[in-house]
Amino acid sequence: MAASLEIGRVGAIILRQMRRPIMSLLVVYAVAVFGMTVIPGKEIDGQTYYMSLFHAFYFISYTATTTGFGEIPDEFSEAQRIWAIACLYVSVIAWFYAIGAIIRLIQNPYFRLALAERNFANSVERIIGPFYILCGFGDTGSLLARGLSDARIPTVVLEADEARVQALTLRDYKVPMPGLCADASIPIHLQEAGLERLNCKAVIAATNNEEVNLRISAIVSLLNSNAMIVTRSRVDVFEETLSSWSRNLHIVDPFKVFAKGLSAAIFNPVLYMFNEWLVGAPGATSARLSRWLDGTLEPRVRVPPKGKWIICGYGRMGHEAHEMLAKNGLKVAVIDPHPGRSDEDGLSQYVVGRTTAKTLRNAGIEDAVGILAGTDDDGHNLGILLNARALNPNLFVIVRQNRHANEVAFNKANADIIMQPSLVTARRILLTLIAPLLKPFFKLLLRLPENIKEEFMNNLLRRLVETVGDEKPHLLTLDINDETSSAVVELLDREETVLLGDVLRNPVDREHYIDTVPLVVCSEPSQNCSDTAIQVLPGNDYAINKGDQLLLCGREKAHRLFDSTLNNEYALHYLRTGKEKPRGFLMQWLVKRYPPLAG
């Protein structure tokens, strides 16, 4: 629908802008041709010659283009030559007028916008499989688009900044990523992006404007209630408004996500290392994870220690970090230039002022174990890091990087953790989209008894490291349904049993398994997967059911083999029975007639 509307809009603009030039050309040509047919030519054999309509049109056509093939079909009279001269100048002027109108049309911003919208809508129409709509292509959107491309998920981008849309066209994505310079909070643009299509699975509101994200979420809730909504929000009042709309809406607050990650790093380091490895954090390689499990990781690479912490800047990030640290019984000192904030949360130690060597000493930096530079100014955060390291070289330093453009300077700062709100947001949104079962998976891991949690996690991580090797871990979420697992569903409909271990066998050698580990299986939709419906680390004897959702972690190549097995009845038969299923009609008839041939 959107594509047809834009085609009509482009046509209307062309007709409106070119109506007068086209009419001028038609009138000039009509008068010129009529004149050539009525003006008498030379006398031939005593008879006055008149040019035919076809010859007149032919002559005017090449004369108007200044080509000049000569006088046809016979030599002209003086009157015809005078008329030809007049037609030549008038038609050239008319053509200049028409060409100028075409140039003005091409330069018209409304025409260019309509043309871009038409091409964009056509590109969206060509996406056949499931796709997402990404609203906002700033630092967060750019990082997220790269992650979705690596996961081979087509994404439609809406961005209000034309320069960012131009940058989008220069990226080498693995899947289609059509983009449009438009306000994503206007419903027509979301419709052009394919919001109402059945294969639109999710909309990500990742703009830098909280109110725009709110409007986008509201529009999506009304126009496509089946689409998942993932929105970025840093303001409590917006989060309260959004949370009551839909169970299919996910709110990502980078500061809350970071605070929870910091808590996990201090009190559940195994889970923290696991999460860092899954998201591909810098330095979180399989080799580093193996050294950490073996206790041979170099001292410089460590997790945040327990003890006294200093938070510099008591904005949203500082507030969330303080709440998390204080909740877990750690001492916290806050340095902030706003005196009115000291009574907000009953802070035990609040130093008023900018973060300098003096305020750091007043906060007790000598006996602190860590410092968090969390202001919204990158230069100030780097200054805090340098001052803190000079006063206490053994500090664990966490620094906030607000702008991606300052990455070079922050990498040279040698901080233990660099917190980029855009990167934290992009990673969380990406995991929410491609691995929604990770959330209930981590919840169950956190509830494990302390006496078995560490051993369980160490064994799991060793198994994953051995399976994945040096490659980046690849997560695959798969629903067992007709679209994604046709061969398996066909067997289940015939009430046959399909074991998880069978589909995980290697099609090349069924005695071995593909390089992947099933982390979770859930028999309910991931957004409301209850504890009773979830099973962690299912074994090979697990019987697959229609409607199950699987989360696997392994190599990307292995997951392609897995996807092929689920949809190939012959490969699946071989993996289940160890026997090749006859393919041709004749062989199938022979096997049915003489069963021993099946062996």
Sketch out the chain's domains with CATH numbers: 2-109 (1.10.287), 127-252 (3.40.50.720), 256-434 (3.40.50.720), 464-593 (3.30.70.1450)
Average pLDDT, the chain: 84
Please, are residues 303 and 337 in contact by the beta-carbon 8 Å criterion?
no
Q: For the segment 105-145, what is each residue's pLDDT rounded down to a tens digit?
A: 777 777 777 777 888 888 899 998 899 999 999 889 999 99
Helical spans, DSSP H, in 339-449 = 357-362, 378-391, 407-412, 421-434, 438-446
Instruction: Report, as an integer, the average pLDDT of 230-234.
Output: 83
Q: For the segment 548-562, what is each residue's pLDDT rounded down to a tens digit?
A: 899 999 998 999 999
- What pLDDT is recorded for position 382? 92
Q: Is residue 403's pLDDT more than 70?
A: yes
**Residue carrying the six token digits 């038409």:** 118
DSSP class of residue 580?
Answer: P
Encoded tokens for 477: 């979420």
Encoded tokens for 35: 């004149």
The Cβ-side half-sphere exposure at 229, using a 13 Å CA radius, reads 28
- The string of DSSP letters for 472-538 reads PPEEEEEE-STTT-HHHHHHHHTT---BHHHHTB-SS-TTSB-SEEEEEEESS-GGG--GGGEEES-
Helical spans, DSSP H, in 196-355 = 210-223, 236-243, 254-267, 269-279, 286-294, 316-327
* Strands 131-135 and 200-205, sheet pairing: parallel
Q: Is residue 483's pLDDT more than 80?
A: yes
**Residue carrying the six token digits 């066909």:** 490
Higher pLDDT, 346 or 484: 484
Q: Is residue 95's pLDDT more than 90?
A: no
Helical spans, DSSP H, in 108-243 = 109-125, 139-150, 162-169, 187-192, 210-223, 236-243
Cis amide leading into 73 (omega within 30) = yes
- What pLDDT is recorded for position 299? 44
Task: Put the strands of the sheet holding 155-159 in their side by side order.
Answer: 179-181, 155-159, 131-135, 200-205, 228-232, 249-252
- What pLDDT is recorded for position 1? 46
| pTM (2 d.p.) | 0.78
Please, are residues 374 and 313 in contact by the beta-carbon 8 Å criterion?
yes
Q: Phi/psi at 235 (nearest 5 deg)?
A: -115, 130
Q: For the segment 295-350, what is each residue's pLDDT rounded down to a tens digit?
A: 665 544 567 888 999 999 888 898 889 989 888 888 999 998 887 665 556 677 88
Taking alpha carbons only, the member of 422, 436, 411, 421 closest to residue 144 is 422
- What pLDDT is recorded for position 525? 66
CA atoms of 112 and 104, how far apart (whole Å):
11
Instruction: Report, as an integer, the average pLDDT of 58-73.
Output: 77
- What pLDDT is recorded for position 372? 94
Q: Is the dihedral of CA 447, 453, 456, 459 positive or negative?
A: positive
CA atoms of 535 and 427, how far apart (whole Å):
25
Q: Is the dihedral of CA 345, 349, 352, 354 positive or negative?
A: negative
Higher pLDDT, 284 or 160: 160
DSSP class of residue 543?
Answer: B
High-pLDDT (> 90) share of the chain, %: 21
Angle between helices 2-38 and 53-64 (to 10 degrees): 110
Please, are residues 137 and 159 in contact by the beta-carbon 8 Å criterion?
yes
Q: How far is CA 141 from CA 79, 116, 202, 205, 206, in A?
A: 71, 21, 14, 9, 6
Residues in the chain: 599
Residue 521: alpha-carbon gap to chain centroid: 25
User: Which of 70-79, 260-269, 274-283 is the most confident on average?
Assistant: 260-269
- What pLDDT is recorded for position 3? 47
Taking alpha carbons only, the member of 425, 373, 422, 421 closest to residue 399 is 373
Angle between helices 286-294 and 450-468 (to 10 degrees): 140
Which contiguous run of DSSP H or E holds residue 370?
strand 370-373
Q: With bands split at pLDDT 50, 70 and 90, how would you rate the model's confidence at 239?
A: low
